[in-house]
Amino acid sequence: MDALPQTPAFALHGVRAVVTGAGRGIGLACAAALAQAGAAVTLCARSEPEIAAAADAIRSAGGVAEAARLDVADLASVARFFAERPAFGVLVNNAGANRPMPMQDVAEADYDAVLDLNLKSAFFVAQAAARKMIAEGVRGSLIHMSSQMGHVGGPGRSLYCASKWGMEGMSKAFALDLAAHGIRSNTIAPTFVETPMTRPFFEDAGFKADVLRKIKLGRLGRVEDLMGAVVFLASGASALMTGTSLVVDGGWTAD
């Protein structure tokens, strides 16, 4: 009998990771998950007090973390941020926003605000990270926080859907461009997750009931539901995965 195959490691010891939008919600959970798996994590966001407190909490729990203020909408700052640091082995491209409204009510300013942050900034953050990885010969993983709304449509979500469908296509093309360099690109596509950003939406009882009808497992997502997914995509356990999406939606898109 041949030797039993060994499960690839989920551990991330010796890996440097960076998470955007890391001060709260999904971004904070991703940073905590990577640190708990052994990575040294840089938490980025515009709000310095939030990421400083988050990095302190990770260090207090025994992880390795630092906070670095970064406005991902400032592309010159993004370029400097990555140029001034050694290459990261993992990027979690998480910063994003939403302005729910019917498409007929969308103004140009709304379009620019959502698409510029969710898609344009995500593109150039990934580009800067990948350029440094290529320059230093670092093989790694780009993980983009997409949404189930990158796979389906939704009322009042034209801007968000446009940005997340764009992200899905962007990630697939990144995977093809970067495969020769050993850099993988994938998305995580969650359903509605209760976070500080989404919590006000669920104060509308009708909206919450409609969401729960569509999530077949019968509950809202929690940030903990995404922590395993981000560690998987960051680690050698997903070494043959690129250009695809992990849909963590409780069955929403299965219908």
H helices then E strands: how many in the chain?
A: 8, 7
Q: Which pLDDT value is given to residue 134?
A: 98
- List domains and CATH numbers for the chain: 16-246 (3.40.50.720)
The Cβ-side half-sphere exposure at 207, using a 13 Å CA radius, reads 12
The Cβ-side half-sphere exposure at 132, using a 13 Å CA radius, reads 23
Three-state DSSP state, 11: coil
- The model's pTM is 0.96
- What kind and span of H or E run contains 189? strand 183-190
Q: Is residue 194 within 8 Å of residue 226, measured between CB atoms?
A: no
Query: Could you read off the pLDDT of 107-127 as tens digits, one per residue?
Result: 999 999 999 999 999 999 999
Phi, psi of 185 (to 5 degrees): -135, 120
- CB contact set of 237 (below 8 Å; sequence gap of 6+): 7, 8, 9, 10
DSSP H stretches of helix in the chain:
25-36, 48-60, 75-83, 108-115, 122-136, 158-178, 205-214, 224-234
What gap in Å lies between CA 44 and CA 22, rounded to an integer? Answer: 6
Query: Could you read off the pLDDT of 230-241 as tens digits, one per residue?
Result: 999 999 999 999
Which residues are part of the catalytic machinery?
160
- Using pLDDT thresholds of 50, 70 and 90, give the confidence band for residue 198: confident
Three-state DSSP state, 59: helix
